[in-house]
Structures are given as structure tokens and as C-alpha cells.
Structure 1
Amino acid sequence: MGRIYRKPGFLRSLNQAWRGMMYTVKTQKHVQFHLFAGSAVLLLAWWSEVTRLEWLILILAIGSVIGAEVMNSAIETVVDMVQPNFHPLAGMAKDIAAGAVLVTAIQAVVIGFVVFLPPLLRLASKMF
């Protein structure tokens, strides 16, 4: 008789997700960079005294970039597993996943300019 599959409980699923995130943070330089950049943006937001809505938009942008980078890492891992030798389609799949990260990163930069440029211009006008 076959084994009955049981779904893992919530805490086990949460632990597996945490383990995956920690592995990604430890092994992926781009994730480390985005975490550093996101932290710097949050410090700048605190210093700039942005509004609650601006905080939410910045947090969403940072989370989108990091989430896209984590998904990119997962896709690259699976592609490497199923196609360890070079194959043009495997390379294209990895490039497309990286492109998704690029889209979210560009979006985050634009959001950063929209949020931070006015207060920085006001500060500059007071200084000069």
C-alpha cells in the first residue's frame, strides 16, 4: 500500500521558507547587495522623515526587488539541476529571471527618485 502524503503544518512550512531565505542570503551576493541597499534606503527614509504612504511604497519596492532576486535564485538553482551543461534555452530561462529582477530594481530606483528628490532638493536649496 502506498504512503499517504500529508501536508506539512504551518510552522514546518514557515521553517522551510526561513531556511530557504537564509540559504539565499548566505550564498547569493546580489541578495546581500539588495538587503544592504534596502537598509540604506530605509535609513534615508527615516532621516528624510517621509510620510506613512511613502514608507509603505518604499517597503513594497524593497520587498519586490528582494522577492524577485530570491525567485531568480530559485529558478537558477532548478535550471542548473536539470541542465548542468550549457543549453541555450537554460541560459535564456536564467536571463529572463534576471530580467525580472532588473525590472523591479529599475522600478525601485524610480520610486526612490520620486520619494527622495523633493526633500533633497529642499535641503540643497537651504544650504546654497
Structure 2
Amino acid sequence: MAKESFLVNRIKSVGYALKGAILLIRTEGSIKIQVFITLLVTAAGFYYNISATEWILQILAIALVLGIEGLNTAVEKTSDYIQPEFDDKIGFIKDISAGAVMLVSIAATIVGLIIYIPKIF
């Protein structure tokens, strides 16, 4: 079997990643909420004409929340696959993963407040 080119491998990788992102959005309620919030703050960014720096911070905050939420989902699905029954150790792992989402969500909220409170009031 011939080895595939680097370019073909990259294209396949992007396809797998896109498939994963679509699956995440379609199947996970928390991501659906976060995508909705993403759309709201993006619209707010246009409405309030935020600066380039504010856009960068907002995009990074959104990406961080969505990315960590995706990793949290992967941890939860993997944990459930490995141990379908209730297990204290698996619960501990899942709680830590959910806690990471909470921490970045709090930070993203603070970034949003810093950007928008002066513009709203």
C-alpha cells in the first residue's frame, strides 16, 4: 500500500476535525448553549463596534470555552465507555473536567463584562 501524501493526510485530518465539531454541536446541549452565546456576543461585537483588540480577546475567550467544552465531552464519553457503571474515580475525573469548563467560562464572562459594560452604560 502506497503512503499517502502529507497534503492528503492534512485534508483528511481537517475533515475528521470538522466532523467532530459538527457532532459536538449536534449532540451536546451545553455546546448548543455556548454556540448561541457565541452568536449573541458576536452580534454585540458588531453592534458596539468593538476594537480589534477586543475582537481578539473575545475570539480567544470563545475558542477557549468551546475547546475545553469539547475536551470535557471527550473525557466524559471516554469515561462512560471505559466504566459504564457509577464509579467514584470516574466521577472524580469527570468533575475535574467539568470544573475546567467552569473556570474558563468564568474567565470568558469576565472578558465579556470588561468589553461590554463600558459600552452599555
TM-score, length-scaled by structure 1: 0.87
Tell me the percent identity: 29
What is the RMSD computed on CA atoms of the aligned residues?
1.9
Q: Which residue in the other structure is 1:107 paired with?
A: 107
Distance in 2 separating the partners of 1:118 and 1:60? 20
Post-superposition Cα deviations, 1:79-104, rounded to whole Å, max 9, x if no partner, equal 00101111001011111111111011
Superposition pairs of residues 1-128 of structure 1, within 5 angstroms? 9-121=9-121
Partner deviation per Cα, 1:1-48 (whole Å, 9 max, x = no partner): xxxx98981111111111111111111000010000011001011101
SS of equivalent residue, structure 1 residue 9: helix
Letter in 2 for 1:109: T
Question: Across the two proteins, how many residue pairs are aligned to each other?
Answer: 119
Please identify runs of 4+ aligned residues in structure 1 that moved more than 3 A. 5-8
Deviation at 1:115, TM superposition (A): 0.4
**Structure 2: gaps of 5 or more residues:** none
Q: Distance in 2 between matches of 1:95 and 1:49?
A: 38
User: Which has more radius of gyration?
Assistant: 1
CA distance in 2, matches of 1:30, 1:36: 10
Gaps of 5+ in 1: 122-128
